[in-house]
Amino acid sequence: MARLAGRTALITGVGGGMGRAASLRFAAEGARIVGCDMDAATAEETARLVRDAGGEIAVTAPVDLGDAAAAAAWVEAGIGEAGDADILYNNASSPRFGAMDELSVEDWDHTMRNELDLVFYVSKAFWPHLKRRGGGVILNVGSIAGIRGVEFMAQNAHGAAKGGVLSLTQQLAAEGGRFGIRCVAVSPGFTVTPQTAWLVETGPQAFRDNIARIPLQRVGQPDDIVNAALFLASDEASWITGVNLVVDGGQSVLG
C-alpha cells in the first residue's frame, strides 16, 4: 500500500539534494508533488526524474521563497493547479557560515531570509488553506545546528535560523492542533548532498574529525532524512505533532 496515496505535497527546494530525494520518494509513495526552487535547471531535472519513475509532479522555478509575495503566489498557484494540498515540506534553505568576528550583517540577513523567513512565508500562505480543508501537515527541516553549539563549524546564523524553525514548529503545533493541523520537524546531522560532499574529503580537519566520531559510523544520505520525513508526513504519525525528530547517526549526542 502506498503510504501517501491520494495526498498532495508542496515541497520547497526540489532541486537540492534532499529535496530531490524527497520528491522521488514521496511520489513513489503515491503523493502528487508540487515543487519549487530558486534554481530552474536542477528543479526541472528533479521533475524529469520523478516523471521517468512514474510519479506525478508540477514544478515552478525559479521561485524566490525569501520574497513573501512570491512565496504566497507559489502556494496559491500550486494548490489551485493540484485542486488541493495537505502536506507542506519546508526543505529549501541557503545558509552562510562565519565565525562571530567574520560573519557580516549581510550574511546574517541572508541566512535569516533564506532559512527562517521563507518557512514562515510559505507556512503562512498555506495555513488558511489547511484550516479550510480541516487539517494537514507542515513538515519543517531543522538541523542539529539548531539544538547545540559546536567548535568545529561557524554556524552562528545557521544555528540561530534553524533554532527559530524548531521553535516555530512547536508553536504551529500548539496553534494548529484544534484545526487538525500537525506541525513536525526533522533535524538532519551531516548529510552528503551535492553542496556538502566536498566537506567529507577536504573540509576543515576539526569537521572531519567530528564526522569520523559519529556513533553509527557513517555520514547521512538524503534518504535517511526522507525516511523520517515520510513517516512524519504519513498517517502513521497521526498523533504526533510538535516533535523534532533528530536523524544524525548519533552525531549530536557527542560531547
Ligand X SMILES: NC(=O)c1ccc[n+]([C@@H]2O[C@H](COP(=O)([O-])OP(=O)(O)OC[C@H]3O[C@@H](n4cnc5c(N)ncnc54)[C@H](O)[C@@H]3O)[C@@H](O)[C@H]2O)c1
Q: By CB neighbour count within 10 A (0-12 exposed, 13-18 middle, 19+ buried), where does 30 fall?
A: middle
Cα(230)–Cα(137) distance, rounded to whole angstroms?
11
Sign of CA dihedral 65, 67, 71, 77: negative
Q: Which of 91, 169, 210, 244 binds ligand X (CB under 6 A)?
A: 91
List residues bridging with 140 in a β-sheet: 90, 185
Q: Which stretch binds ligand X (CB under 6 A): 52-60, 62-70, 79-87, 210-218?
A: 62-70
Residue 111 CA from chain centroid, whole number:
15
Task: Give min distance, CB of 239 to ligand X, in A.
Answer: 25
Cβ-in-10-Å burial (0-12, 13-18, 19+) of 215 comes to exposed
By CB under 6 A, residue 249 contacts ligand X: no
**Does 37 contact ligand X by CB under 6 A?**
yes
- By the rule CB under 6 A, 251 interacts with ligand X: no
Give the whole-angstrom CA distance, residue 216 versus residue 244: 20
Q: For residue 7, how many C-alpha atoms fall within 13 Å in the half-sphere facing its CB?
A: 25
Q: Tell the smallest beta-carbon distance from residue 94 to ligand X (Å).
A: 4
C-beta of 91: minimal distance to ligand X in Å? 5
| Residue number with CB closer to ligand X (37 or 86) | 37
Q: Which of 4, 9, 11, 16 binds ligand X (CB under 6 A)?
A: 16
What is the nearest approach in angstroms of ligand X to the Cβ of residue 235?
24
User: 7, 8, 13, 85: which one contacts ligand X (CB under 6 A)?
Assistant: 13
Choose one: 37-45, 49-57, 120-128, 177-185; the region binding ligand X (CB under 6 A): 37-45
Minimal distance, residue 57 CB to ligand X, in Å: 15
Q: What is the DSSP letter of 20?
A: H
For residues 72-101, one letter each, b for 16 or more C-beta atoms within 10 angstroms of the residue's C-beta and e for the rest, the string is bebbeebbeebeebbbbbbbbbbbbbbeee
From the number of C-beta atoms within 10 Å of its C-beta (0-12, 13-18, 19+), residue 196 rates as middle
As measured in angstroms, the least distance from the Cβ of 227 to ligand X is: 14
Please say which residue, 8 or 42, places its beta carbon nearer to ligand X.
42
CB 37 within 8 A of CB 62: yes
> Closer CB to ligand X, residue 135 or residue 167?
167
Contact between 23 and ligand X by CB under 6 A: the answer reads no
- Quote the least distance from Cβ 214 to ligand X, whole Å: 12
Q: Which of residues 96-125 bind ligand X (CB under 6 A)?
A: 114, 118
Residues that bind ligand X (CB under 6 A): 13, 15-19, 37-39, 42, 63-66, 91-94, 114, 118, 141, 143, 188, 190-191, 193-196
